Structure 1
Amino acid sequence: MSSRENARRAPSLDLVSRPRRNRRAEWVRRLVRETTLEVSDLILPLFVVEGREQEEAISSMPGTRRLSIDLAVRTAERAAALGIPAIALFPNIDAALRDDGGSNAFDPENLVCRACRAIKSEVPAIGVITDVALDPYTSHGHDGLLQDDEIVNDASVAALVRQALNQARAGADVIAPSDMMDGRIGAIRSALDAEGFTDVLILTYAAKYASAFYGPFRDAVGTTKTLIGDKRTYQMDPANAKEALREVALDLEQGADMVMVKPGLPYLDVIAKVAETFEVPTFAYQVSGEYAMLAAASANGWIDGDRAMLESLLAFKRAGACGVFTYFALRAAELLRASA
């Protein structure tokens, strides 16, 4: 007996509601789709290094490279051509420039400032986001200033204000404090406004967790070997979700324009709570460890890499994020444009 005859003889369930009817064909799946992922949802992080025509592989982030400024400009051009609205810059500076106070962060000719000016000059249509935190610049690898084995808050905030102003003067469109010091958003907003940078946005890493998923990023910016201790006295406890709401509320009160939850996939519940509670632009960061897991599984043939990557990005949108920092941005943009 054929399978078709078996199907005919199967007893009728007499169902009124059959949700599968809305899944029978691609056209109807598209018609009833609740969440969409678009190129305009993507932000591309870029790691920059000194030199020209320099491209350095990052072993723990297969497919991602550190780029000299000239190559970063070309990548920004490619991103803009694909429709990606913004890039985020992260430096890997020479070890000789790292000191206890992170002084290179205040140098108007530092790597990030030069990269920012070059990209804004050659690709003015793309937004440039700069990271405000001292870890790439300090000899101890912390986001703030270390005194007697303690990260001191208020002195760190003063340093972060200097760093933010330095980046704004270099042409940054968005200042993104990722340090998690108390009070830094209000201090940075006041300083920016006092210098006439009233149009410079602040995207705060409002809920940044002390996560195990940051390891490859620290390889990329060269802080894996320099970090003394850990960051649990200022980054959030992964067990806490309600605390994230308090952190976001404080940053918004102090003048933040947009907020971030970091990492991404392990914290979809936090993203959803933040987006629903505050109804402000909420971003997720698909961090280096998330990227590395997907890239490694794809390289080993364990998953369909492109499908898994797009599914993971869609999860952020479904949770309520309006945009995602992702190292997959270029590939995702190519796939989305091809399917449009």
Structure 2
Amino acid sequence: MATPIHPFEALRPERVVAAIESLGFEVLGEPFALNSYENRVYAWRDDTQQRWVAKFYRPERWNSAQILEEHAFLAELDRNDVKVGAAWSDDDGKTLHDFEGFRFTLFRHVIGQAPELDNPAHLFALGELLGRMHSVAGRIAFIDRPSMQPEAIMTSSRERVLASNWMTLRQRQAYQRISAALLELIPLPNWPSSHMIRVHGDCHIGNMLGRDDEFALVDFDDCCMAPAVQDIWMLLTAQNEQEWRQQLAEVLEGYEQYGEFPRSELKWIEALRTLRLMRHSAWLVDRWDDPAFPVAFPWVASEGYWDQHIRTLEQQRHALERPPWLA
């Protein structure tokens, strides 16, 4: 039996160009594929040398209402002077477009580089950006986008990894044991509703671009309802208490130019880190039928990857039992 063709294999450069040009643009040269695996994202220039990004959504991940709610959030942030990569709309106000079975959106290119998390000025600026964003995000709730629910995410991730054939019997037994222990240690099945706001959801440095101390947020593909700390914790990368507290102080000083940060949420950082670790491995397993994944992540097929993942989860067990530096 022939192996099914993944939908993204049909997204050839000529189809990308044809999709963009169907909206009335002229594309100069061939679009350049950016490092995006969940979706397919291309940088390109129009005939005026304006730089753009075209994002083609993974089929069957988000429904159109969820994507449009992301776009509406971006437009709301843009109107309130929060620096984001907002979606382009045509003369009819449409931001989500269809071409030969693919849904796609155009964004103006955001110029800049990733921040340096050991630079206090950058941390302060990122705190300002997130504080301004959350001051707008807290006004209303998402209706169609998901809510981050710790127990559901961990349970689903655990089941998907265990249903795969990647691990040896020894590794499977170790993963079953440690993932069950982590599930027992998460602080609560769902975050309290009073702490849930609209968040970016994936605030790593690759999604923050700028120059000097001016940054913008890009790629809201994971935006959801979650605690505010979800957009903060990945900025805290220091490996000792003094430097960690210095990073946190700079971020919160910037953040609190626009509103008080709920410090009680800091105790959830290790739970959030655990969710991300478990969900990432489940994501790799889920997406292995996409030809881009074996090329980009070949180590997933090795025993060494799963041994390291299990060791990392063991470290998280200790962190959940004794959250560092948060007392």
TM-score by length of 2: 0.29
TM-score by length of 1: 0.28
